[in-house]
Amino acid sequence: MGAMFDRNPLPKQFCNIGRLWEALEARGLDGIVATTPLNVFYLSGFNGIAHNSDEPRPYAVILSRHVPDHPIMVVADYYVSSLMVQPSWIEDIRPFRAVMMGLDIAPQASDIDRFIPQAGAEADWVAKAREQYRFDMDSVVRGALADLGLADGAVAFDDMGYGLRLGDVDVGDGYDPMMAARMVKTAEELTLIERATALNQKAIERTVASWDKGASWRDVNRTYHQAAVDLGGFIRDPGGMVWGHPRGADPAITLQTGLEDFEIEAGAHILFDCHGTLDLYCWDGGKSWCVGDTPSASAKKIAAAVKTVAETVCAAMRPGNTVSQIQAMGRETFRKCGVPDADSALIFFHGLGLSHMDLELNNPDGTPNGDWAMRENMVVPLHLLYPGGENERVWLEDVIVVEADGGRPLFDWGFEPFIEA
């Protein structure tokens, strides 16, 4: 059922390495040590299965912009076999003895052999990894820094705490250099995001098609979750559907907590804003669903305005235009459409990729990157919400690729709401 979204090995390299070198140089940094899971995945393709976000990370990618052709990856010994399945452009793999090997047994160089399957064990990089095997992570990282000429350089860490604990290193902030690279997508990344968006669209369409009278909000959530997982995606606790739905005429803007429940009645406007991942790349977005009924005349007018604004805003999502400029264009379009209160509409943007941010917090000169400008090959969700009661509110979120002549929507279902079940 989910064949088109089956997991397969990723390209050896899909990161925007050129932008990373530029971002490091602009900040006076010689190299970077990445230890957070998403950045390690971005730089290497490695996706470790056994660790949660707040646990010590038993892996690191170490890069020097002065030796760009010699990336180094440090991993726990039990992860070497994972690197035999997912290829990487990084061939200098340096394993260390980790938690699976008991403290009651004296470390031996042969310990690494327990974790190397026979198939593929003769690869050159595996043989070199055996030679590099050491008994603790910090000494391996220090050795890699020395080999790359970074022991005395200014080194960015995406987890500065790890850099400070390592000691004897000039520690810089690696968050913004990594985001500077991640915010402009490579062709390989665009393919991954397009796949994730297509999965989300199919999951939403299946959910709408399955509705029947008497279904509750939690029923719809479960249906969406099941559809997304059946197709091959992953949903994060507490749920994949983001918006809350205040009842009656309440126009409040709320997010769901996973604790809400109510019967979904004909005529209600359900706002699909769905989050999940495929190959660790995020999907986002959706639009309004007018449940099993024809919307009111006022809701039709608002929906038509949202569609017109989306067309205007999408066309304006060109390199160089800033968020505030595009928001102003969108709000002026709402006014021209004659909706009652254009200032009440939400028009907002964020980056999208391995997170729902993928944006620098600060520019290289240290100024805040608040009113950021569109760049070619950014992926930027376009959000439009005209608030109102449960039978009036209208929502649209499309995932847009910024191109030279304007934005390219990744959903292929148009900007109009779902009108029927």
Task: Please report, for the chain, the start and end positions of each structural domain, with discontinuous segments joined by +.
Answer: 3-182, 187-409
Rounded to whole angstroms, the Cα distance separating 58 from 46 reads 12
What is the tens place of the pLDDT at every residue in 357-415? 999 999 999 999 999 999 999 999 999 999 999 999 999 999 999 999 999 999 999 99
10 Å Cβ neighbour count for 378? 24
- Dig out the tokens for 252 from the structure: 């409040």
- Phi, psi angle pair for 397, to nearest 5°: -135, 110
Is there a contact between 257 and 221 (Cβ–Cβ < 8 Å)? Answer: no
- Dig out the tokens for 276 from the structure: 């999940």
What is the sign, positive or negative, of the torsion defined by CA atoms of 39, 44, 49, 50? negative
Is there a contact between 415 and 330 (Cβ–Cβ < 8 Å)? Answer: no
Mean pLDDT of 74-94: 96
pLDDT at 421: 47
pLDDT > 90: percent of the chain = 93
135: CB partners within 8 A, 6+ apart: 96, 97, 107
SS3 content of the chain, % helix, strand, coil (to 5): 35, 20, 45
10 Å Cβ neighbour count for 78? 19
Is there a contact between 275 and 356 (Cβ–Cβ < 8 Å)? Answer: yes
What is the tens place of the pLDDT at every residue in 189-246? 999 999 999 999 999 999 999 999 999 999 999 999 999 999 999 999 999 999 999 9
Is there a contact between 144 and 64 (Cβ–Cβ < 8 Å)? Answer: no
Is there a contact between 283 and 389 (Cβ–Cβ < 8 Å)? Answer: no
Instruction: Please give the sequence-ordered ranges of beta strands (E in DSSP) within 124-241, or none if there are none.
Output: 154-157, 170-173
pLDDT at 2: 45
pLDDT at 3: 58
Domain 3-182, second-level architecture: 3-Layer(aba) Sandwich (3.40)
What is the tens place of the pLDDT at every residue in 149-192? 999 999 999 999 999 999 989 999 999 999 999 999 999 999 99
Q: Is the pLDDT of residue 53 over 80?
A: no
pLDDT at 180: 98
Radius of gyration of the chain (CA): 24
pTM higher than 0.85: yes
Type of residue at 176: D
Q: Is the pLDDT of residue 120 over 90?
A: no
Domain 187-409, second-level architecture: Alpha-Beta Complex (3.90)
Average pLDDT, the chain: 95
Give the distance from CA 284 to its chain's centroid.
9
